[in-house]
Structure 1
Amino acid sequence: MVSHRAVTGPGACRLSNLSRAYQRAITPPSNHIVKSLSEGLALHQQGLIAEALEVYESILQTDPRHYDALQLSGTGLLQLGQAAAACDRLGAAIEVNNQDPGTWSNWLAALNEAGHYAEAIATGQRAYEQFPGVASLVFNLGNAYREMDRWAEAAAAYQAAREATPNMAAAWGNEADARLELGEREQAQACAEQALALQPDLHSARVTLGLIYDHSRRADLAIAEYERVLEDVPTYVKAHVNLANSLRDFGEIDRSEDYATIACGLSQDTPEAWIARGHALLGQGYADDAAMSFEIATELNPHEPIYLSNYLMARQYAPDTSAEDLKLLAQGMDGLYGSLYKPPTPGPVRRIGFVSGDLGWHPVGRFLLPVLKALAGRTEVFLYPTNERDEPHGQALRELAVASRGLHRLPTADAVRMIQADDIDLLVDLSGHTADHRLDIFARRAAPMQATYLGYSGTTGIANMDAILSDELQVPAEEITNFSERPWYIPGGSFTWPDLEIPAEAKLSQPHDGVVFASFNNAAKLSEPCLFQWARLVSSIPGASLLLKNPGFRSERARAHVFEILVMGGMDPRLVRFETLLPTREHFLLYQEVDIALDPWPYGGATTTVETLACGVPVLTLAGSRYTQRMSASILSTVGLTEGITYTLDEWLERGRAWAEDAAWRQNLRQTLPDQTESALRQQALRIANTLLQGPPLG
């Protein structure tokens, strides 16, 4: 979002100061100063600001307290981007004459431009008391509030500005920004639309309208707004970035990468552009390139925790990243949050709080629901959603909680106070470094006991995160040193039954030619070493083929990338089939054509593994040293299909070939594995609940 500033002076929003100065210049006591000021004003009006400043300086050499020379030179310096000098000059003008609201307004604009926001707020409040109803003054006060993330006060200031001057489009546009930050989407949209009605070429307001559509999950409408902006201003970086993000949400990953790359080229020092490019590349399966883009963003703004989280997530997909590497990176988060270690306080678990941005129709929410059912009546549950999404499945979770309190946009200190007021004994993070996380709250020790679970496949790096709730397969004893948290083991495994609605027909194999290997995991998980070995396995079995299904394969570049690696591994490209987004029923029915599922590495499946097993299809995994490469092993162990777990490449190849030859065994699994999977995972909900109630091992 882009804020405007209201500068009253030559070439700016209003010329009231210029006009008044010109009137004074016609009849002053000194003809020399009159002539000089008139010349300066004329130059200023023509946009020759540097030349005008020379004239104003000559006047000030004669009369250092000449009000018009002070305030006009201050305005000129501001227009040239010399904010610090403008602050001094305009402040001096106010000392000479504090009765001109236009000069106060320009001083506010200069203070904002110089980054002196607290001083701008104090100055603006004092000036607005003296000159209520001056739109430019309260508008620039709103900009100061905005820079301090005081969005409610910013919205009120912009509202006052447009009430004072109803045709002030910039005030309507900036109020739209503030209302959007406050979660008031309807008001934000009304303000943005009014701004555009007043000034159709106010591109910042159109970008805001696009963001409003994005927040409302109307990517199609958002795309149209951004494209309209770029038709007029092809170099508008923010529009390119937002368009890239919307296109990714809309499934047009290749176009998303194109626009993000343009944004990076237009402004190489804009971290949001590199973040957008990183997400697009990750969607195409180029994890290394994505990590590089995220790393550039972190270098551009090393103080932004979300950028580090994005980089960490991308590194999870890279085969050459070790668990030790991930821990060292993650431990940088505490420094960004400025947090200090506070030891936990063990005690009974009477109240549990769950913090997540995925408390809805998301794997996290679906795995959590049976756990909350198992906790019902045994402890008090509080939910702390970190975004504004409101889904029917989220209601099912909320019905099992004492309260649900949103953390979206809530400052860290306020969030910590709220959780402490709820007297939470155990606070559970369900996000890790994924979207909408609030690790800042855990870094500040919001609860006596804190743990991470389910949402992220690795260590958070947060010193005040006491434990990671997992199992001995995912966090084996030899890997404990690669976690900043203590291991907190769940007997039997970490996953529950996520209430999958699978058509009965999906559990039946349909006749087809040859053995069909498949993966329904996202493209980013299909690393080059993994694809190369898949090609070796599949091509070694006569008549075998490979089915890859994921919405990301709508990307032509993603498919081309996968083809290239498979061919390098010896695969006949004619034996590779891609499927993309399908309706839920058709998605599950596709399993009728699958004989063996291949788990990717180094970032394996979890939800995908559960649904595959629930359809009666065996999953073959190569367990590695990292958490991400042991999730499927945990699920297979819980379900009782331990023959699907291998630990060496030779063992993996041998097992895959043996399974391909044993059609009778696979057919028998079709009949037994679905019920076996559901039953075993349902039992885990009670075990997880019991583990939570015992509290983390803090001794």
Structure 2
Amino acid sequence: MDRSLEPESSEDRADAALPDLSDPLHFGEHMDAVYQSQDYQAALPLAERFVARYPRYALGWIVLCGSLSTLGRQDEALDATHRFIATIPQAAGGYRAMGRILVEQAETEAAIPHYERSVRLDPSDVGTWRSLAFAHAALDHLDEAIDAFDRVLDLEPFLEVCLRQQIAILDRAGRHAEAIPLYQRLIALEPAKDYFYITLTRHLTDMNYLSAAALFCKRAIHLDPESLASRVELGLLKRETWHLEEALKAFMQAHLLDPGHPVPLGNAANVLLDLGRPDEAWRMTDRATLVEPDKTTPMSNRIFTAHYDPKATREDLRAMIDAWVHRFVPEDEAPRAFHDPDPDRPLTIGMVSSGFMNHPALALSLPAFEALDTDTYRLIAYSDRRRMDFVSRRLAACAEIQFVANLDDAGLADQIRKDKVDILIDMSGHAAGCRLRIIPMRPAPVQVKWVGGLFNTSGVPGMDWLIADAIEVPHGEERWYSERIYRMPDGYVVFCPPDESPPVWPLPAQLKDRVTFGSFNNPNKINDEMLGLWARILHRVPDSRLMLKGAKFSVAEAQEVTLARFARHGIDAERIILRGFTVHSDQLRTFNEVDIALDPWPYSGGLTTCECLWMGVPVITWPGPTFAGRHAASHLNNVGLSDWIVDSADAYVELAVSWANRVPDLAALRQGLRARTAASPLCDGPRFARNLEKALRFMWQTGLAEAGLIDPASVTHPTPDG
């Protein structure tokens, strides 16, 4: 039959439009053009024909494997990739294709050797280096990811997505300084984009490079004078350097730019507290809470600062905590999950804080962490701050530090589960870096509140235990806490004395012939009631002086306000010594000018009390009604100075007056106080660590027993060490 006049089929027309298959160059170019146009359905048959005719040409295999994978035909893609590698084992593209398919199948770990083989064969392939870097990052292989991104950026120095990712990974790995030149490349990409200047400002601020941070912050404001973020960063920088009036101005400017944003209001409230204007600060915090009621920070700040208020009752404070829980915590707590219910196995302990640096939380826990049995307890510190200092480096010697500021609460909870943490210790509470919302998510089967933002109950469901002592939480006070109370046999913390402490000088009263009282506590703790009590002491001890030291006293306004408050109580300005911010070593030396320290009320001194004792200065304390008010009493009891603890305002005044008239006895006490403190449980890291190990083991086994995984009778009940 003559078919010459019959119409051509669509397949015949397509074949006719194709380059001659006998010409692999032209056919390959056509096939690749169809593939690059993302018409994978059309590219697939072309690749099949090309591979059948030219199996030694890698391009056909690349198009075949890529088309099959993109069309969702994963099994066929995997088979084709195996054939590609078998046919041309020296072709980098086969291993690259295998890696991509395995990643798409969620087998990232298996993909990595194929990517590595590919870049060995073709070291200039930016795309595969990038895929390798992202694969390592997805698996938290931080050092390997950094090395791979370095290769990407060597080949393509201004690849924005990789610059951003490398910065994030360097942060997580604690290699913060290496990120700075990458920020500079991002700025070079878009020098008029204020976002890059703002993020670099934050990075430099966290690293304590404040002068450099200020320069980039000013540049961000110059580029966009109406940027809320840059004004907030300027305020944070000014507060960090104790330029409080300028900080307040910056935050209020940010507020005017966006009256509906809570961050400027919350930060302005903190500055008002620093300036000694608590009533204004609390009103500002309440405004921040109303502006954005789904944000936790303003309400947490209000809870924290309310503990400074002598008018706040325990009922008031607990109601505020319960209101926070009601607003931010879901009613249904996630179930416990024990991945290995062995009661006696080694345990992984996670700690969450923004204070893993020279901060009270670490100064009052580090000796315990350093002395824990490393064969039995593995430590992971989840840090919300990238700043590393000499204290952080000590922690890094006994714990793995993970930087998690880039993770939201759900992401942090997932990371903790991934790390198989057995006991999670919260070390922030409602203070800076609050992460209490992860607790009801149950990232760990046993969850504990300890030092760091520990001023009351957390109130949060899922917080199983609170580590205290018999002074901080006296027997009978349990009803105020949502957690079960575990009382340590000595104090609830252990003090890390400064490495380079100045010597203790002779008693100043014997040198100057007058007594100098002092308070080096956070000035926000000094309320009018306490100030009046101190004025009574000064009236009773003629020619005595009172030294107040705190960063805010570097500010003229704060000095004037403080002297005016004392003047209202009949105390002349010459009797009040105000000292502002100094470096820590100078602060310790300043203790040598004080005879007797006066603890504030109702929020007591914690680390400051320990430093007073270490520098030979005894402390008079009147315990407050909450955990926040009992820190000094706990430390004094721990060093055997319980007779410096009183039970009323009148007794506080009388004890101060009594000791002011016993100068020889005070001198003798001072002479031996550092040695006494050093020999006490307060400074005995190994002793505290043994007791902490027993506490953690008891909590672990109790959790297993409550879950029905072990016999309750087998739980090891701790006996005090020492």
Q: How does 1:280-359 map to 2 (within 5 A)?
A: 280-331=271-322, 332-333=324-325, 335-338=327-330, 340-342=332-334, 350-351=346-347, 352-359=349-356
RMSD over aligned Cα atoms:
3.4
User: Is structure 2 residue 544 aligned with structure 1 residue 544?
Assistant: yes
Q: Which residue of 1 aligns with 2:481?
A: 483
Secondary structure class of the residue paired with 1:477: coil
The equivalent of 1:366 in structure 2 is: 363
Rate the CA distance shift 1:234–1:373 in 2: closer, same or farther, 3 A: closer
Cα-to-partner distance string for 1:336-367 (whole Å, 9 max, x where unaligned)? 24362357689557413222222233222232
1:441 is matched with: 438
Task: Indicate yes or no: 2:405 matched with 1:426.
Answer: no
> How far does the alpha carbon of each residue in 1:570-601 deviate from its partner, in whole angstroms, 9 at most, with x for none?
21111111112234433222222211101112
1:625 aligns with 2:625: yes
1:153-232 equivalence runs, <5 A: 193=184, 197=188, 201-230=192-221
Rounded to whole Å, the distance in 1 between the matches of 2:388 and 2:583 is 22
CA contact (8 A) 1:534 1:566 kept: no
Q: Is the 8 A contact 1:210 1:222 kept in 2?
A: yes
In 2: Cα distance, 1:357 partner to 1:482 partner: 26
The offset of 1:229, in angstroms, is 4.5
Q: Deviations over 1:622-648 (max 9, x none)?
A: 112111111101111111111211111
Q: Which residue of 2 is the match for residue 614 of structure 1?
A: 614
Contact 2:521 2:600 (C-alpha < 8 Å) held by counterparts: yes
Q: Which residue of 2 aligns with 1:385?
A: 382
Q: Is there any run of 5+ residues in structure 1 with no aligned partner, and where?
A: 1-158
2:603, 2:345 → 1: CA distance? 33
Question: What CA deviation, in whole Å up to 9, does each residue of 1:1-45 have, x standing for no partner?
Answer: xxxxxxxxxxxxxxxxxxxxxxxxxxxxxxxxxxxxxxxxxxxxx
Change (3 A) 1:281 1:176: farther
Whether the 8 Å CA contact 1:219–1:247 is kept in 2: the answer is no
User: What secondary structure does 1:247 align onto?
Assistant: helix
Structure 2 CA distance for partners of 1:255 and 1:571, relative to 1, 3 Å: same
The one-letter amino acid of 1:473's match is: I
Q: Matched residue of 1:653: which SS? A: helix
Hey, what's the Cα distance between the residues in 2 that align with 1:547 and 1:443? 45
Q: Who is 2:695 aligned against? A: 691
TM-score w.r.t. length of structure 1? 0.70
Match of 2:231 among 233, 237, 240: 240
**2:305 alignment partner AA:** A
Superposed CA deviations along residues 364-408 of structure 1, whole A, max 9, x for unmatched, are 22322221244215622222322323334323223334x444433
Q: Is the 2:353–2:433 contact (alpha carbons within 8 Å) kept by the matching residues of 1?
A: yes
Change (3 A) 1:399 1:223: closer
The normalised TM-score by structure 2 is: 0.68
Give 3-state SS (helix, strand or coil) of 2:247's partner: helix
Per-residue CA deviations over 1:105-130 (Å, capped at 9, x if unaligned) read xxxxxxxxxxxxxxxxxxxxxxxxxx
Q: Secondary structure at the match of 1:469?
A: strand
Does the Cα contact within 8 Å between 2:595 and 2:617 map onto a contact in 1?
yes
The total of aligned residue pairs comes to 537
Q: Counterparts of 1:677 and 1:494 in 2: how far apart (Å)?
A: 16
Task: Report the secondary structure of 1:303's partner residue.
Answer: coil
Sort the Cα spacing of 1:195 and 1:431 in 2 relative to 1 into closer, same or farther, 3 A. Answer: closer
String of CA shifts for 1:182-227, please: whole Å, max 9, x gaps: 6656787556545655665544443334333323322222223333
Report the Cα distance in structure 2 between the residues aligned to 1:293 and 1:422, rounded to whole angstroms.
40
1:249 matches 2:247: no
Question: Residues 607 and 200 from structure 1, CA distance in 2 versus in 1: closer, same or farther, beyond 3 angstroms?
Answer: same
Distance 2:401 2:326 in 1: 27
Amino acid at match of 1:398: A
Q: Which residue of 1 aligns with 2:498?
A: 500
> Does 474-483 or 600-609 show the bigger shift?
474-483
2:427, 2:450 within 8 Å by CA — same for their partners in 1? yes
Contact 2:303/2:430, CA 8 A, preserved across alignment: yes
What is the CA distance between 1:412 and its match in structure 2? Answer: 3.7
The amino acid that maps onto 1:692 is: L
Q: Per the alignment, in what secondary structure is the counterpart of residue 425 of structure 2?
A: strand
**AA aligned opposite 1:463:** P
Change (3 A) 1:545 1:449: same
Per the alignment, residue 604 of structure 1 pairs with 604
1:587 aligns to what SS in structure 2?
A: helix
CA distance 1:323–1:196, shift in 2 (3 Å): same
AA aligned opposite 2:528: E
Q: Give the SS at the match of 1:675.
A: helix
- Letter of the 1:382 partner, please give it: L
Write the distance in 2 (CA, Å) between the matches of 1:460 and 1:690: 23
Q: Which residue of 2 aligns with 1:525?
A: 525
Structure 2 match to 1:639: 639
- Name the aligned partner's letter for residue 361 of structure 1: N
Partners of 1:589 and 1:202 in 2: how far apart? 47
**Rounded Cα–Cα distance in structure 2 between residues aligned with 1:480 and 1:618:** 30
Deviation at 1:259, TM superposition (A): 1.6
- 1 CA distance for matches of 2:498 and 2:193? 48
Contact 1:383 1:398 in 2 (8 A): no
C-alpha displacement of 1:462:
1.0
User: For residues 31-68 of structure 1, what are the alpha-carbon distances to aligned partners after superposition, in whole Å with 9 as ceiling and x for unaligned?
Assistant: xxxxxxxxxxxxxxxxxxxxxxxxxxxxxxxxxxxxxx
Q: More displaced, 450-459 or 414-423?
A: 414-423
Residues 560 and 478 of structure 1, relative CA distance in 2, 3 Å threshold: farther
CA distance in 2, matches of 1:449, 1:552: 40
Distance 1:503 1:179 in 2: 40
Quickly say closer, same or farther: Cα 1:509–1:183, change in 2 above 3 A. Answer: same
Residue in structure 1 matched with residue 717 of structure 2 by the alignment: none
Asked whether the 8 Å contact 1:334–1:443 carries over to 2, the reply is no
Offset of residue 286 of structure 1? 2.6
Deviates more, 1:572-581 or 1:211-220: 211-220
